[in-house]
């Protein structure tokens, strides 16, 4: 490369001589000048490699020495002085850093050539050494910055110190960190977040570090930085016409983009140069490394802030889920594969474990609490058996992966409970079956109510079937809707022959008008009795006593109930009674009734019956009493005055029947009286029959109360209860009507299609038809979607069972709205999945950024021959690799929050041996407990291993001997002990770690004692053994 020379001399003859000599020597004359002003201007325009300057310049107030000093104030260039005199004063004045020679006139060609070559080579050597020192200073600053960001110091303070370290290292005038404004799609400008000025912490006047707006004049600048280009401006007052960033400043400016991963965060602006003029010859790789460190730190800070925000959101969701679970009446729990609880809600803890602490059951199985309670109550076999069947049920779910619903009775702390338990498989994010989710609903009250209702219904049926006749109920339109199953009348009529028919269709030879009239009388008077003779199909004639009475029904209105007694045999019995009074008396006395006769004056002439004693009489004591006297003495609540009742009774003397139902000394009696005729058919008195219906009344009242409680329960429960028959809905409770927004009047027009969504409708219909037709193995519990009154489609849990409704098969359908529960579950699962993906991405990006830094350092190491600089870069590279290995291990780990220590130490050790022991003379042994290290512990421990292992490789075997370096790890529960040992020459006996000056040992001491709050010591045995103990939480 041709050396460019600027010649400054005030004599034209000397200028011609210079041109001739320099041309002969193959030097390029880039310019000439005759005085100081021309010299300064030519130097700025041509930027020569060397200046030949005449000391004495005519026509100027200052000489060539002053001109050279002014030129080097802004442009660093070597100067060779020429003088014809060589006086001592001039010689003393030219002793300056930029003075590289002195030639006395006259001179020859060889003298000129040697002076120029010597000046240029000397200047280049000086410049190269200065740049090496500056590079080393920058790399040390980068290393210190990495240590800062790993410390516990606040991020903003570490960033400010890093900016100052870089500024001092490059000997800049100022250094500013700019952050882009706007979003990734449209960057509108940049603001200066951090700034540093040489010599002062305060910002000087006319500061170049101001906020900017990316207008049209900055378009090229913005696009270049976005591409990742480095932009440099020479900083000359006569600079280019395009924009000089950030202002026209008289110093060189370097602008380096900063990326957070692939996101352009901003840029670092460095104003170079000092009072002596440093130029632009600085190693750009070191500055790029510094910018990369800043980018990685800023990216890590951005990721940490995002992670903390999402973690807070997750905690809020978890608190909400915990609040919901703790306030539901059902017991909820989650078990792992080992059948130990990992979650329980408040209901489970309070009802099953008898504790308010929901954390107490965690890590334990139900067997633990069951065995503990049984040991405390060993004498009570019915104290607690909730663990029975739990292991088998959990095993079925874990083995099949299918949900399981069971209903069982358990003893829980001495009280029998009926539990409806639902178990479902629990999967992790990768689809692995990891446990069982359970929900238990206490159905004890419902089951007790159902059992009571069933028992009452059975009693009612038993009572009705025990009646000596056909008991029936007719609807207001005259259709028989109920009949008992008593077939003891022997008339060949059965219950199925009565249901759905009119009374005239059964007793077909009766006059329909008589039937209507008897119904009217029963409804008006409260009771009606008549006797009918009916000819059966076979020609036999039977005598029936038909009793009718009103029945009140909230849904159906007034109905008519009745009992048909076949009194044919009774009439024959009465005739037999006349033939054998004694036999009749014995027979009647054993019956739970009272039978009597009176004379024409209504005085008791004969009475018999087991129930006489219930009203305080005997057959003998009651004789002679008039009916009126008996009423006044023992009747409790007659419907009419005694005289009126007696008048009604006396109607029997005129051929009419008399019926009375009243209380006599606390006993409810049903009294039937009719005329008593002699053999000639003349009425000689009355005959009466009293039934003791006290127990029936009590049972009837209890039945009505039970039916009312059951109806209120069904109507008030917040679960939709529907009875379907022939694909039509024939009954529904209030919750169902509220859900669809209809009234009971519209029920007969409601079908499955009004409730179930089209996707589930066909399945519901098929299951309904299958159950009605008797198909087996149909699911009794499944999920469907139903339309609400607002048209919203909501998910329901449907439980179906087969029942009989009005004598026909039907299905009982119980629908529980689980839409909100299902949505909450899906949102929680989605949120958890997003957080895991975000954490994996954070580790992945940090690992990649550190790998990029590592690669850049490796490229720099390969291009540097200076041993000290190379060693410093190699140390920085291994430290960064140690950090990167932590994030790589976390990224590849299943838990993404911890890494296996032994595997991680092996990876770091192999990398260090590869760099520092290429001859493979040393072997690495790693032993100890399997410990999982978290990110907070893995990163600093990795740096400590890095420093101590490099120290052992470099100093333990100075003679190049073969040896072993071992690393052992012991888990002591609340702490871990780390030992790094070699069998080399050892450390001097007077060595004190606190007095160590090396960066590596200082870093080790600070990390162990300050950051991790642990301890580090040396074992005085053979070789060197570092013993480190730090706190640890598994």
User: What's residue 553's pLDDT?
Assistant: 72
User: What's residue 888's pLDDT?
Assistant: 67
User: What's residue 488's pLDDT?
Assistant: 46
User: What's residue 91's pLDDT?
Assistant: 63
What are the tokens at 887? 């994030």
Q: Does residue 976 sit in helix, strand or coil?
A: strand
CA angle 378, 384, 390 (to 5 degrees): 125
User: What's residue 643's pLDDT?
Assistant: 75
- Phi/psi of residue 6, nearest 5 degrees: -105, 125
617 in Cβ contact with 608 (< 8 Å):
no
Within 8 A by CB and 6+ apart from 1009, the residues are 1015, 1016
What whole-number distance in Å separates Cα of residue 33 and Cα of residue 62? 14
List of the chain residues with pLDDT < 70: 58-61, 85-95, 97, 184, 198-209, 234-251, 273-283, 381-382, 486-496, 507-509, 536-539, 554, 556, 575-592, 637, 639, 710, 831-851, 854, 879, 882-897, 1034
What are the tokens at 223? 């696009």
User: What's residue 244's pLDDT?
Assistant: 40
Reported pTM: 0.35
What whole-number distance in Å separates Cα of residue 759 and Cα of residue 340? 39
DSSP structural state of residue 237: T
List domains and CATH numbers for the chain: 4-107 (3.40.50.2300), 171-281 (3.30.450.40), 331-439 (3.30.450.20), 451-552 (3.30.450.20), 570-700 (3.30.450.20), 717-817 (3.30.450.20), 897-1031 (3.30.565.10)
What are the tokens at 64? 């060539």
- Phi/psi of residue 886, nearest 5 degrees: -60, -50
Within 8 A by CB and 6+ apart from 296, the residues are 846, 849, 850, 853
Tens digits of residue pLDDT in 343-371? 999 988 888 888 888 888 899 888 888 88
User: What's residue 240's pLDDT?
Assistant: 38
User: What's residue 422's pLDDT?
Assistant: 92
What whole-number distance in Å separates Cα of residue 118 and Cα of residue 124? 10
442 in Cβ contact with 419 (< 8 Å):
yes
922 in Cβ contact with 978 (< 8 Å):
no
Q: Does residue 427 sit in helix, strand or coil?
A: strand
- What would the 3-class secondary structure string for 870-923 be? HHHHHHHHHHHHHHHHHHHHHHHCCCCCEEEHHHHHHHHHHHHHHHHCCCCCEE
């Amino acid at each position: 490369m041709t050396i460019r020379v600027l010649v400054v001399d005030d004599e034209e003859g000397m200028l011609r001589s210079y041109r001739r000599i320099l041309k002969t020597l193959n030097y390029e004359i880039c310019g000439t000048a005759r005085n100081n002003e021309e010299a300064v201007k030519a130097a700025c325009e041509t930027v020569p490699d060397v200046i030949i300057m005449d000391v004495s310049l005519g026509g100027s107030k200052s000489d060539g020495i002053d001109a050279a000093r002014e030129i080097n104030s802004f442009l660093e260039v070597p100067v060779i002085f020429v003088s014809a005199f060589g006086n001592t004063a001039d010689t003393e004045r030219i002793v300056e850093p930029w003075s590289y020679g002195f030639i006395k006139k006259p001179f020859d060609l060889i003298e000129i050539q040697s002076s120029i070559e010597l000046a240029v080579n000397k200047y280049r050597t000086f410049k190269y050494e200065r740049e090496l020192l500056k590079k080393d200073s920058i790399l040390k600053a980068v290393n210190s910055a990495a240590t800062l960001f790993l410390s516990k110091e606040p991020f903003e303070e570490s960033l400010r110190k890093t900016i100052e370290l870089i500024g001092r290292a490059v000997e800049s005038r100022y250094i500013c960190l700019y952050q882009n404004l706007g979003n990734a799609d449209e960057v509108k400008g940049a603001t200066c977040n951090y700034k540093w000025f040489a010599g002062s912490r305060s910002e000087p006047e006319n500061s170049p570090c101001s906020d900017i707006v990316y207008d049209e004049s900055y378009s090229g600048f913005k696009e270049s930085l976005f591409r990742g280009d480095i932009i440099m401006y020479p900083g000359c007052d006569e600079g280019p016409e395009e924009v000089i960033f950030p202002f026209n400043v008289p110093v060189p400016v370097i602008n380096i983009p900063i990326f957070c991963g692939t996101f352009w965060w901003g840029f670092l602006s460095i104003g170079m140069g000092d009072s002596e003029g440093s130029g632009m010859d600085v190693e750009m790789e070191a500055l790029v490394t510094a910018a990369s460190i800043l980018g990685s730190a800023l990216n890590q800070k951005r990721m940490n802030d995002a992670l903390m925000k999402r973690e807070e959101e997750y905690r809020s969701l978890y608190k909400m889920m915990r609040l919901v679970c703790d306030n539901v009446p059902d017991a909820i729990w989650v078990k792992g594969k080992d059948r130990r609880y990992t979650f329980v809600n408040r209901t489970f803890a309070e009802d099953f474990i008898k504790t308010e602490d929901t954390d107490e059951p965690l890590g334990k199985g139900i067997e633990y609490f069951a065995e503990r309670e049984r040991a405390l109550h060993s004498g009570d076999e019915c104290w607690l058996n909730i663990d029975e069947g739990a292991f088998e049920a959990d095993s079925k779910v874990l083995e099949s992966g299918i949900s399981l619903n069971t209903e069982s009775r358990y003893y829980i702390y001495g009280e029998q409970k009926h539990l409806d338990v639902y178990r479902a498989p629990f999967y992790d994010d990768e689809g692995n079956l990891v446990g069982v989710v359970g929900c238990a609903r206490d159905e004890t009250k419902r089951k007790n109510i159902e059992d009571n209702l069933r028992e009452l219904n059975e009693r009612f049926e038993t009572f009705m079937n025990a009646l000596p006749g056909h008991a029936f109920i007719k609807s207001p339109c005259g259709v028989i809707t109920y009949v008992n199953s008593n077939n003891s009348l022997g008339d060949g009529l059965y219950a199925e022959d009565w249901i759905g028919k009119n009374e005239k269709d059964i007793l077909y030879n009766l006059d329909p008008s008589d039937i209507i009239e008897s119904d009217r009388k029963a409804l008006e008077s409260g009771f009606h009795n008549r006797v009918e003779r009916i000819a059966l199909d076979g020609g036999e004639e039977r005598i029936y006593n038909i009793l009718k009475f009103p029945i009140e029904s909230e849904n159906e209105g007034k109905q008519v109930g009745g009992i048909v007694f076949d009194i044919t045999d009774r009439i024959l019995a009465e005739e037999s009674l006349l033939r054998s009074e004694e036999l009749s008396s014995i027979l009647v006395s054993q019956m739970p009734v009272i039978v009597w006769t009176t004379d024409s004056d209504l005085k008791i002439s004969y009475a018999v019956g087991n129930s006489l004693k219930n009203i305080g009489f005997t057959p003998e004591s009651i004789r002679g009493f008039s009916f009126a006297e008996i009423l006044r003495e023992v009747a409790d609540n007659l419907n009419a005055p005694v005289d009126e009742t007696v008048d009604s009774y006396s109607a029997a003397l005129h051929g009419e029947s008399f019926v009375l139902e009243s209380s006599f000394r606390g006993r409810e009696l049903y009294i039937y009286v009719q005329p008593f005729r002699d053999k000639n058919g003349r009425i000689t008195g009355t005959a009466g029959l009293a039934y003791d219906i006290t127990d029936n009344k009590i049972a009837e009242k209890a039945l009505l109360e039970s039916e009312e409680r059951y109806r209120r329960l069904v109507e008030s429960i917040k679960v939709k209860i529907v009875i379907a028959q022939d694909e039509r809905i024939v009954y529904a409770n209030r919750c169902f009507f509220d859900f669809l927004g209809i009234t009971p009047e519209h029920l007969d027009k409601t079908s499955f299609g009004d409730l179930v969504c089209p996707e589930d409708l066909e399945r519901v219909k098929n299951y309904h038809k299958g159950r009605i037709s008797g198909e087996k193995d149909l699911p009794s519990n499944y999920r469907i979607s139903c339309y609400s009154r607002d048209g919203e489609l909501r998910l329901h849990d449907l439980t179906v069972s087969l029942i009989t409704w009005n004598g026909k098969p039907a299905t009982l359908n119980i629908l529980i709205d689980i839409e909100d529960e299902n949505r909450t579950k899906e949102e929680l699962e989605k949120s958890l999945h997003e957080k895991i993906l975000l954490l994996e991405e954070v580790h992945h990006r940090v690992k990649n950024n550190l790998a990029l830094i590592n690669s850049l350092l490796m490229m720099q190491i390969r291009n540097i021959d200076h041993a000290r600089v190379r060693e410093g870069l190699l140390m920085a590279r291994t430290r960064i690799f140690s950090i990167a290995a932590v994030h790589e291990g976390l990224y590849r780990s299943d838990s993404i929050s911890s890494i296996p220590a032994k595997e991680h130490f092996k990876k770091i050790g192999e990398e260090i041996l590869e760099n520092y022991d290429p001859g493979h003379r040393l072997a690495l042994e790693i032993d100890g407990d399997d410990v999982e290290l978290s990110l907070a512990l893995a990163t600093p421990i990795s740096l400590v291993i890095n420093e101590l292992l490099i120290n052992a490789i470099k100093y333990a075997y100075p003679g190049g001997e073969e040896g072993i370096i071992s690393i052992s790890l012991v888990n002591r529960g609340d702490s871990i002990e780390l030992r790094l040992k070699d069998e080399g020459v050892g450390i001097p006996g007077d060595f004190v770690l606190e007095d160590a000056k090396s960066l590596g040992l200082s870093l080790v001491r600070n990390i162990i004692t300050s950051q991790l709050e642990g301890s580090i010591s040396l074992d005085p045995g053979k070789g060197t053994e570092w013993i480190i103990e730090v706190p640890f939480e598994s």
